[in-house]
Chain A
Amino acid sequence: MRSESDSRRLSTTRPAWALLRRAVSLLFVHGFLLAGAVFMLLPFVWMLVTSIKPPEEIFTAQLRLWPKQFYGLENYRFALTSAPLLRFALNGVFICACILAVQLLVAIPCGYALAKLRFPGRQALFVLTLLALAIPVQVPALPLYIALADLGLLNTYFSMMVPFFLSVFAIFLLRQFFKGFPDDIIHAARLDGMSEFEIVWRIVTPSAWPAIAAFAVFSIVAHWNDLYWPLIVISDAKLAPPPLGMMFFSDAETGSNYGALTAAATILTAPLVVAFLFARRHFIAGITMTGVK
Chain B
Amino acid sequence: MSSLAIPAPGVRRQAFGGRQALIEKITGMGFCLPATTLLLLTSLVPLCVLVVMSFTDYELGALDIKSVGLANFGKAMSDPMFRRSLWNTLLYVAIVLPGSVCLGLLVAVLVHQRKRTRSFYEIIYFLPVTSTLIAMATVWQFLLHPRLGPINAFLQLIGSRQYAFLSEPSLALPTLAVIGMWQLIGFNMVLFLAGLSAIPRDIYEAAEVDGCSGSIDRFLTITWPLLGPTTMFVIVTTSITAFKIFDTVAVMTRGGPMGSSEVLLYAIYLEGFQYFHTAYAAALTVIFLVFILVFSVIQTFVLDRRTHY
Residues of A within 8 A of B (CB): 1-3, 5, 25, 29-30, 32-33, 36-37, 39-44, 46-47, 50, 58-59, 61-63, 105-107, 109-110, 112-114, 117-122, 125, 128-130, 132-136, 138-147, 149, 162-163, 165-166, 168, 171, 190-191, 193, 196-197, 200, 221, 224-225, 227-228, 231-232, 242-244, 246-247, 250, 255, 258, 261-262, 264-265, 268-269, 272-273, 275-277, 280, 283-284, 287-288, 291-293
Q: Are A250 and B187 in contact (CB under 8 A)?
A: no
Chain A proximity of B48: nearest CB distance (Å)? 9
In the bound assembly, the distance between CA atoms of A32 and B141 in angstroms comes to: 26
Also in contact, A139 and B36, with CB within 8 A (given A265-B136, A272-B132)? no
Q: How far is the CA of A9 from the CA of B35 in the complex (A)?
A: 61
Report, nearest first, the 6 A-B pairs whose CB atoms are least far apart: A119-B28, A140-B46, A166-B38, A109-B31, A134-B296, A117-B28
Contacts of A284 in B (CB 8 A): 122, 126, 190
Q: Are A113 and B31 in contact (CB under 8 A)?
A: yes
The count of A-to-B residue pairs whose CB atoms sit within 8 angstroms is: 292
Complex contacts, A196 vs chain B, CB 8 Å = 23-24, 27, 31
Contact of A120 among B25, B107, B131 (CB under 8 A): B25
Interface contact A231-B250, CB-CB below 8 Å: yes
B246 touches A144 (CB 8 A): no
- The answer, yes or no, to whether B215 is at the interface (CB within 8 Å) is yes
B113 touches A269 (CB 8 A): no
Q: Say yes or no: A243 contacts B132, CB within 8 Å.
A: yes
Binds A, one of B66-74, B78-86, B147-155: B147-155
User: CB-CB < 8 A to B150: which residues of A?
Assistant: 46, 61, 63
Residues of A close to B139: CB separation below 8 A: 43-44, 46-47, 50, 262, 265
B273 within 8 A of A: yes
Q: Is the CB of A139 within 8 A of B288?
A: yes
**When the two chains form their complex, are residues A250 and B293 in contact, meaning their CB atoms are under 8 A apart?**
no
Q: How many Å lie between the Cα of A147 and that of B50 in the bound state?
A: 12
With CB as the reference atom, state the residue of chain A lying closest to B191: A288
Name the residue of chain B whose CB is nearest to the CB of A164.
B42
Output the least CB separation between B213 and chain A (Å). 7
Cβ of B257 under 8 Å from chain A: no
Q: Which of B44, B53, B138 has the most CB of A within 10 A?
A: B138
The listed residue (A121, A125, A273) touching B130 by CB distance below 8 A is: A273
Return chain B residues, CB-CB under 8 Å to A283. Answer: 126, 130
Chain A hits for B293, CB < 8 A:
134
A-B contact pairs, 19 of them (CB 8 A): A33-B107, A33-B117, A33-B121, A40-B124, A40-B128, A40-B182, A43-B143, A117-B31, A129-B39, A166-B35, A221-B130, A228-B247, A243-B132, A246-B134, A255-B141, A265-B135, A276-B127, A287-B129, A293-B241
Would you call B90 an interface residue if the criterion is a C-beta within 8 Å of the partner chain's C-beta atoms?
A: no
Which residues does chain A contribute within 8 Å of B123, judged by CB atoms? 277, 280
Q: Give the CA-CA distance A227 to B39 in the complex, in Å.
A: 22
Query: Which label, helix, strand, loop or mixed, suits the secondary structure of the B interface?
Result: helix
- The residues of B with any CB-CB pair to A shorter than 8 Å are 1-2, 5, 20-21, 23-29, 31-32, 34-36, 38-39, 42-47, 49-50, 53, 60, 103, 106-107, 110-111, 113-115, 117, 119, 121-136, 138-143, 147-150, 152-154, 157, 182, 185-187, 190-191, 194, 201, 204, 208, 213, 215, 233, 237, 240-241, 244, 246-247, 250-251, 265, 268-269, 272-273, 278, 281-282, 285, 288-289, 292-293, 296, 299-300, 303
Q: Given contacts A1-B201, A142-B53, is CB(A247)–CB(B134) below 8 Å?
A: yes
Contact of A228 among B128, B138, B186, B265 (CB under 8 A): B265
Q: How far, in angstroms, from A163 to B46 measured CA to CA in the complex?
A: 11
- Do B5 and A191 touch (CB < 8 A)? yes
- Residue of B23, B32, B215 touching A2 (CB-CB under 8 A): B215
Partner of B289, one of A37, A139, A258: A139
> What distance in Å separates the Cβ of A113 from its nearest Cβ neighbour in chain B?
4
Q: Quick check: A272 and B32 within 8 Å, CB to CB?
A: no
Residues of B within 8 A of A58 (CB): 148
Report yes or no: B43 in contact with A136, Cβ–Cβ below 8 A. Answer: no
CB pair B187–A287 under 8 Å, yes or no, is yes
Known contacts: A36-B125, A261-B142. The answer to whether A61 contacts B29 by CB under 8 A is no
Is the pair B265, A138 in contact by a Cβ cutoff of 8 Å?
Answer: yes
**A255 — which chain B residues lie within 8 A by C-beta?**
141
Smallest CB gap from A277: residue in B: B123
Q: Judge whether A149 and B140 touch: CB under 8 Å.
A: no
Q: Establish whether residues B285 and A142, one from each chain, have CB atoms under 8 Å apart when the complex forms.
A: yes
- Give complex CA distance A146, B285 in Å: 15
